[in-house]
Amino acid sequence: MSNLASILETEVREEIAQVKRQSQEKAAEIVNQAKEQAQNLLESRKRALEGEFNAGVVRAKSAASLEVAALRLSAADSVQKRAFVEAEQKIRDLANSQSAEYRTILGKLIEEARGAIAEPETVEVNPADLLLAQDVLADLGLNVPVKGNEQVQTGVRLVAKGARTSVQNTLLGRLAQTRDSLASQVARVLAQ
């Protein structure tokens, strides 16, 4: 019996020691969190005071800068719009030219679209591009019907079997997709 009492006493002591360790660890964690919160609060207040001081200085400088920036932005926006209108017109002129360059581009657009639809049921192009597209398809070794579609401009639309899926690959579509990234590049050039 004394053996059992000694075992129980040892277990109780171990449990008490473990609870004590856990309590000390938790207390240390709480103290560390409190210190961290206090430090964060001090830093936050310091930053706020510095910010208020700096804000007064910045407000005076930024009022003039804003007006200058607004004028620049307005001018840059106007130039950007004009640049994209001109780019679209040059693309349309290229397509309307039916040149060897446009023929090559049309072939590449078809090949790229075939990456999504390997065996199209039909190829749609602008009615003005029908003959050119037929020649390009023949050069590519593709025996696919070509249809005119007024909605397709400066490129092609491949329609999958069953007409459930289609892929449009046009120069104007690409310009539209890259407009945001190009706009930032144009803005940087204009800002210089």
Which of 45-54, 127-136, 155-164 shows the lowest per-residue confidence on average (mean pLDDT)? Answer: 45-54
Overall domain count for the chain: 1
Predicted pLDDT at 182: 73
- Nearest of 183, 166, 154 to residue 82 by alpha carbon: 183
User: What value does the mean pLDDT take over residues 14-28?
Assistant: 81
Over residues 70-93, the mean pLDDT reads 79
What is the reported pLDDT for 42? Answer: 77
127 is a domain residue: yes
Task: Write down the pLDDT at residue 117.
Answer: 87
| Each residue's pLDDT tens digit, 87-142 | 889 989 988 888 999 999 999 999 999 889 888 999 999 999 999 999 999 999 98
Average pLDDT over all residues of the chain: 84
Q: Which CA distances in Å does 112 have to 123, 130, 170, 172, 184?
A: 13, 19, 11, 15, 27
Whether 1 is covered by a domain: the verdict is no
Tally Cβ neighbours within 10 Å of residue 147. Answer: 15
Give the global pTM.
0.57
Does residue 152 sit within a domain? yes
Counting DSSP H helices and E strands in the chain, the numbers are: 5, 4
Question: What is the percent of the chain where pLDDT is above 90?
Answer: 31
**Is residue 68, in this structure, part of any structural domain at all?**
no
Question: Domain of 165: which CATH number?
Answer: 3.30.2320.30
SS3 158: strand
pLDDT (mean) for 35-40: 82
**Interatomic CA distance for residues 132 and 137, integer angstroms:** 9
In a domain, 157, yes or no: yes
Flag whether 10 is in a domain: no
pLDDT of residue 1: 62
Rounded mean pLDDT of 65-86?
75
pLDDT at 146 over 80: yes
Q: Per the domain annotation, does 187 fall within a domain?
A: no
Residue 153 in tokens: 């401009």
- Tell me, yes or no, whether 151 lies in a domain: yes
What is the domain extent for residue 166? 98-180
